[in-house]
Amino acid sequence: MTYTLTTPLYYVNDRAHLGSAYTTLACDAIARYRRLKGESVLFITGCDEHGQKIQRTAEAAGMSPQAHCDAISADYRALWERWQISNDRFIRTTDPRHQRIVEQFFARVEANGDITEGRQQGWYCVACEEFKDDPREAQDPECPIHRRPLEWRDEVNLFFRLSRYQDQIQALIQTPGFIAPESRRREVENFVAHGLRDFSISRVNLPWGIPVPGHQGHTFYVWFDALLGYITALLAAEDEPLLDTALARGWPASLHVIGKDILRFHAVYWPAMLLSAGLPLPAKVFGHGFLTREGQKMGKSLGNVLDPAVLLERCGTDAVRWYLLRDIPFGDDGDFQQQRFTDLVNNDLANTIGNLLNRTSSMARRWFDDGVPPGQDSTRSADSSHPLAVAATAACRTFEAALEQLDFRQAAEAALQLAIQANGYLNEQAPWSLMKREGTRDQVADDLYAVLESARIVGLLLAPLLPDLSSRMLLQLGQTPPQSLAAAAPDQPSPSSWVDQLRWGGLVPASTLPEPVPVMARLELTEDL
């Protein structure tokens, strides 16, 4: 059973912003975690490239829509690569294979009697790509979101008979766990309770879209086409673009991670489309919150957008991942504050975790021949009752339970807590004092072994959240990172799985410890990002 998870397919109207990076990083952590647990994972991201808005943006830039999409989607792809995102697929809705999938899907929906023709008359916002039901006044109505004039449309469109699925959708959103976080469910419930209305799935006179088969002049409405991208993305490189082939690769999705603003599309329209085509439904839709910056909405007009590429370049992947995952409750809105960002990164990663490894490794090397000290058998055994062994076991348990709930904060906190406990233990035992006395060498060996072991486990726990720092820590301990690269062969079970490695006692006494180099540099940001 494959664990399929998706980011939204990002709209290529503009370049990637921090919000997309946030979503993608979170998904990456989930994907890495599930792979480490030994599950087969299909992590999907990509770009949504059709629609009038794209067409106009491209025109305004003096480009063809295709050239525009090529450029922006290449940006996305490159950005995720630099962020070390471990996605298995990158789908573009302009991929010719996507058209084939959409056609087949549409055929099923149409065969099921869910496509009707209807006249759509009203004010349209191109930025929203939506009809606005009831603009206040007829004179120069504008979109309340975009503050742009609405355009009058009067066209015959194809409609999807959403209304037929009222009961099924209502039941679906009652299913515990389908909409997450729980607090978002009510909003969707109310929307559905007002009665689902059929919605148009085609546009006329819009060349930049996928033609609707058998309906001259119609192209698919962007959302209809975009959502299906999740299915096209399932196709492996060598697969024929057949719907059934794609589905067999990993449908239904286990998780769609999206921003809270597009919950309705994913929790209502999308499941209804799938029901109509007779396909199974995704297990969970998670709507996370938005990021502000220093308390303000980020936007071009305010000139305060935080470019994820710049952020990465200046601060590194570990720092940003840590801040976003550790400090912002996944699901709630969050605020990016530079001071807090550097404080947290320096405190948690450099001072607490990095320095723990550095000081311990340094002592071990000095007094135990550049290697892991020979702790006593009882200290090294997997069922050791050493206080740090107990703490480590508890940390692992909390960590896993938290990630199962997509609670990155709690997971990060669990790893951090172990490092804090190890630092505290070190200060209590004060091996540097013990070493000045006679006959304490065994005690010191035990103490250092236990602290090094704790550091190893912290490093392992961080693997899904901060893959880079994790490997640096493990290398510093003379260990091999659990999976050296994201795309490890899925069918090949690694000799020692992550879960096995998490057991206490993995460090081999007398094995060599490399010369310690700080694994995490402090951030010294002299100017604003």
In the complex, least distance from residue 1 CB atom to RNA, rounded to whole angstroms: 32
Question: Residues 6 or more apart from 187 whose CB is under 8 A from it?
Answer: 263
Residue 426 makes contact with RNA by CB under 7 A:
yes
The interface region with RNA, picked from 42-50, 151-159, 348-356, 478-486 by CB under 7 A, is 348-356
CB 498 within 8 A of CB 36: yes
- Closer Cβ to RNA, 84 or 337, answer by number: 337
Closest of 331, 32, 350, 337 to residue 183, by C-alpha: 331
The interface region with RNA, picked from 89-97, 129-137, 246-254, 439-447 by CB under 7 A, is 129-137
- Closer Cβ to RNA, 45 or 358, answer by number: 358
The interface region with RNA, picked from 16-24, 243-251, 316-324, 338-346 by CB under 7 A, is 338-346
- Closer Cβ to RNA, 212 or 357, answer by number: 357
* Nearest-angstrom CA–CA distance, 105 and 242: 10
Q: At what angle do helices 317-327 and 467-476 cross, to 10 degrees?
A: 110
**Cα 354 from chain centroid (whole Å):** 25
The interface region with RNA, picked from 26-34, 39-47, 356-364, 379-387 by CB under 7 A, is 356-364
> CA of 496: how far to CAs of 47, 108, 366, 483, in Å?
36, 46, 30, 10
Tell which positions 363-402 bind RNA, by CB under 7 A: 363
* Nearest-angstrom CA–CA distance, 286 and 178: 8
Question: Residues 6 or more apart from 159 whose CB is under 8 A from it?
Answer: 115, 116, 117, 118, 198, 199, 200, 201
Residue 191 makes contact with RNA by CB under 7 A:
yes
DSSP alpha helices (H): ranges in 249-386? Answer: 263-264, 270-276, 308-315, 317-327, 338-344, 355-367, 377-380
> CA of 24: how far to CAs of 43, 77, 265, 325, in Å?
10, 12, 19, 11
- Closer Cβ to RNA, 359 or 503, answer by number: 359
The interface region with RNA, picked from 200-208, 236-244, 309-317, 427-435 by CB under 7 A, is 427-435
Strand order in the sheet with 285-288: 89-92, 40-48, 2-11, 255-259, 285-288, 179-180
Among 167, 194, 300, 528, which residue interacts with RNA (rule: CB under 7 A)? 194
CB 283 within 8 A of CB 252: yes
Amino acid symbol at 405: Q
Among 134, 238, 515, 524, which residue interacts with RNA (rule: CB under 7 A)? 134
CB 234 within 8 A of CB 89: yes
Residue 335 makes contact with RNA by CB under 7 A:
yes
Compose the 308-327 pattern: x for residues touching RNA by CB under 7 A, - for all others. Answer: -------------------x
- Closer Cβ to RNA, 234 or 465, answer by number: 465
Residue 145 makes contact with RNA by CB under 7 A:
yes
- Closer Cβ to RNA, 333 or 370, answer by number: 333
Q: At what angle do helices 441-461 and 387-404 cross, to 10 degrees?
A: 0
In the complex, least distance from residue 271 CB atom to RNA, rounded to whole angstroms: 16
In the complex, least distance from residue 128 CB atom to RNA, rounded to whole angstroms: 8
In the complex, least distance from residue 506 CB atom to RNA, rounded to whole angstroms: 21
> CA of 403: how far to CAs of 128, 391, 394, 465, in Å?
34, 18, 14, 10
Question: Residues 6 or more apart from 326 whose CB is under 8 A from it?
Answer: 344, 348, 408, 409, 412, 413, 416, 465
Among 420, 475, 488, 499, which residue interacts with RNA (rule: CB under 7 A)? 420
Residue 198 makes contact with RNA by CB under 7 A:
no
In the complex, least distance from residue 130 CB atom to RNA, rounded to whole angstroms: 7
Residue 503 makes contact with RNA by CB under 7 A:
no
Residue 340 makes contact with RNA by CB under 7 A:
yes
Q: What's the per-residue H, E or C state across 203-231?
A: EECCCCCCECCCCCCEEECHHHHHHHHHH
Residue 301 makes contact with RNA by CB under 7 A:
no
Among 19, 229, 250, 334, which residue interacts with RNA (rule: CB under 7 A)? 334
- Contact residues for RNA, defined by CB under 7 A: 132-134, 144-145, 183-184, 186-187, 190-191, 194, 260-261, 264, 289-290, 295, 297, 327-329, 332-335, 337, 340, 343-344, 346-347, 350-352, 354-360, 362-363, 420, 423-424, 426-427, 430, 432-433, 518-522
